[in-house]
Amino acid sequence: MNITGLSPERLEFEHRPMNWIVGLGIVCAALLLFLLKALIDGALPGVAIASLMLLAIAWVWLTQIFLTVRLSADRGTGILRITTISLFGETFRERPLDDLTGAEVDTRYRESDSSAEPTLVLRFGSERHPIQLFKPDPADLLQAAEAIKGWLNQHQPGTEPAGEALE
Amino acid sequence: MNVVKNTPEELEILIEIPRFIVLFMTAPIALAGGLFTLALLLGGEFVNALTTGAVIAGLVFGGRYFLTQRTRLWLDAREGTVRILRTTMFEEKRQQLPLEHLDSASVAVSRRHERSGSGSSGSTSRPTSTLHLLFTNTRPATEVPLTGWAVSGGGAGMLANAINDWLRAHHERAEGGD
């Protein structure tokens, strides 16, 4: 997760798991070559096995790993948007920025193998909203949580006159 | 893996696999694969040569990508920051965190069992280790691995000792200053 935009008006992060994209990309490319070779040789069992493996790995790669998750908070529009961009399109969720009260890093341990899964959690009052990211770097999450808290604290003085005006 | 600078104000650490080791790991695959591909080409098996060559190239490229990843760490007492610079073939990523949140460095050891003889009694274990930083501003504390790869030997332990000694001295100076 990289900070791609940080100004008083706008905060933006992007997450792209490059190590996994490169690693599985190489596996997919190798399988594609084996498939082409099996097709040229006319080896039907080879075509079937390579196709099945390529489909399975490419499906996981395209739907779980080759994704960009972008978190953007904009004071101009007052919207917090979490966008997931894949080859199949773009999906997003939105919340009013005023609801966002903080961010923290929470580490859960998987019950299958006890491995740690650090997650960035956005706090909307008492509600906690974990951001699902594929294999994030814990240092990125800590930095993102600090940046969100710092950015929201900058906002505090600006909100006071608005509240007084309503009264 | 070495300590580049160790002063009361700053600790700088570089974590990388030496270039000659990367070369020793990738060059034999490239050379043997290249020769094999050439032999296929000379034998007139163009499709086989193309497939083998591409797979070998992918292996060498992947190996180089993962093995040349480098991490540089700075603990800066004057600015009160922990700075991490991670460099790969494609990108350079900088991270900055408050030094006050850094509790310590630790080494995670994993044992990979490999069979060295026949039967179940012929297995040995080769421990490999990775260096982690422990940040205690979260609950539970967050462990940050500094590299994606693990190494055998005492390098990670040496760096963890250097970081912990520096942090201890830094906290003692800070308490003495108060």
Q: Which of A63-72, A115-124, A134-143 has the lowest mean pLDDT?
A: A63-72
Contact B7, B138 (CB under 8 A): no
Is A67 a residue whose pLDDT tops 90? no
**Subunit contact B61:A41, Cβ cutoff 8 A:** no
Cβ atoms of A123 and A99 within 8 Å: the answer is no
How high is the ipTM of this complex?
0.76
A19, A41, A139: residue with CB nearest B84: A139
pLDDT for B112: 63
Give mean pLDDT, residues A69-98.
89
- Whether residue A63 is predicted with pLDDT greater than 60 in this model: the reply is yes
pLDDT of residue B125: 67
Between residues A142 and A19, which one has the greater pLDDT? A142
Give the span between the Cα atoms of A89 and A45, in whole angstroms.
34
Question: Closest Cα to residue B16, out of B90, B83, B72, B98?
Answer: B72
The alpha carbon of residue A167 is apart from the nearest alpha carbon of chain B, in Å, by 38
Q: Chain A residue closest to B69 (CA)?
A: A19
Share of chain A above pLDDT 90, in %: 23
Q: Note the pLDDT of residue B48.
A: 84
**What tokens appear for B8 in the block?**
């009361």
| CA distance linking residue A78 with residue A23, whole number of Å | 39
Are the beta carbons of A29 and B58 separated by less than 8 Å? yes
User: Whole-model pTM?
Assistant: 0.79
User: Tokens 């308490």 map to which residue?
Assistant: B175
pLDDT computed for residue B71 by the predictor: 92
Output the DSSP codes for A78-139.
TEEEEEEEETTEEEEEEEEGGG--EEEEEEEE-TTT--EEEEEEEEETTEEEEE--SS--HH
Residues of A contacting chain B (CB within 8 angstroms): 2, 18-19, 22-23, 26, 29-30, 33-34, 36-37, 40-41, 104-107, 116, 118, 137-143, 145-146
Which amino acid belongs to residue B44? Answer: G
Q: Is B118 left (phi over 0), alpha (psi -120 to 50) or beta?
A: beta
**DSSP run (H or E) holding B172:** helix B155-177
The single-letter code of the amino acid at A23 is G
Residues of chain A found within 8 Å of residue B58, distances taken between Cβ atoms: 26, 29-30
CA A16 to CA B93: how far, in whole Å? Answer: 12
- Between CA B27 and CA A36 the distance in angstroms is 27
User: Block means of pLDDT (10 residues each) for chain B, length 178 residues?
Assistant: 89 90 90 92 86 88 88 93 91 89 89 53 69 90 85 82 93 79
| Residue B93 contacts A, CB cutoff 8 Å | yes
Q: Report helix, strand or coil for B161.
A: helix
Please tell me which of the candidates A2, A18, A30 has its beta carbon nearest to residue B90. A18
Instruction: Kindly tell me if the per-residue pLDDT of A163 is higher than 60.
Output: no
Question: How many Å lie between the alpha carbon of B55 and the closest alpha carbon of chain A?
Answer: 6
CB pairs under 8 A between A and B: 69
Query: Which of chain B's residues have a Cβ under 8 Å away from the Cβ of A118?
Result: 142
* DSSP symbols for B40-97: HHHTT-HHHHHHHHHHHHHHHHHHHHHHT-EEEEEEETTTTEEEEEEE-SS-EEEEEE
Residue B55 to residue A37, Cβ atoms within 8 A: no
Strand partners, A162: none
Q: Quick one: pLDDT at residue A120?
A: 92
Residue A15, token pair as written in the block = 């997450």
Pick the residue of B74, B133, B144 with the most A CBs within 10 A to test the interface with A by mutation: B144
Nearest CA in chain A to B148: A19
Mean pLDDT, chain A, as a whole number? 84
Of A34, A105, A141, the CB nearest to B51: A34
pLDDT at B114: 52
What is the average per-residue pLDDT within A144-163?
A: 70
What does the pLDDT read at residue A162? 37
Residue A27 — very low, low, confident or very high, per pLDDT cuts 50/70/90?
Answer: confident
> How many Cβ atoms are within 10 Å of B130's Cβ, its own excluded?
19
Q: How many Cβ atoms sit within 10 Å of the Cβ of residue A105?
A: 25
Instruction: Note every long-range contact of B89-96, with CB atoms under 8 Å and residues 24 or more positions apart, other chains counting.
Output: B89/B64, B89/B65, B90/A18, B90/A22, B90/B65, B91/A18, B93/A2, B93/A140, B95/A137, B95/A139, B95/A140, B95/A143, B96/A143
Q: Give CA–CA dist A61/A55, Å, rounded.
A: 10
* Token couple for A151: 């950015």
Rounded to the nearest angstrom, the minimum Cα separation between A23 and chain B is 7
Across A1-5, A42-46, A113-117, A118-122, the highest mean pLDDT is recorded for A118-122
Q: Which of residues 98 through 127 in chain B touch A, CB cutoff 8 A?
A: 98, 101
Give the separation between CA B11 and CA B78, rounded to whole angstroms: 11
State residue B88's pLDDT score. 87
Residue-wise DSSP of A40-66: HHT-HHHHHHHHHHHHHHHHHIIIIIS
Residue with tokens 């003692």: B172
Residue A36 with chain B: CB contacts under 8 Å: 51
**Of B51, B84, B138, which has the smallest distance from its Cβ to A33's Cβ?**
B51
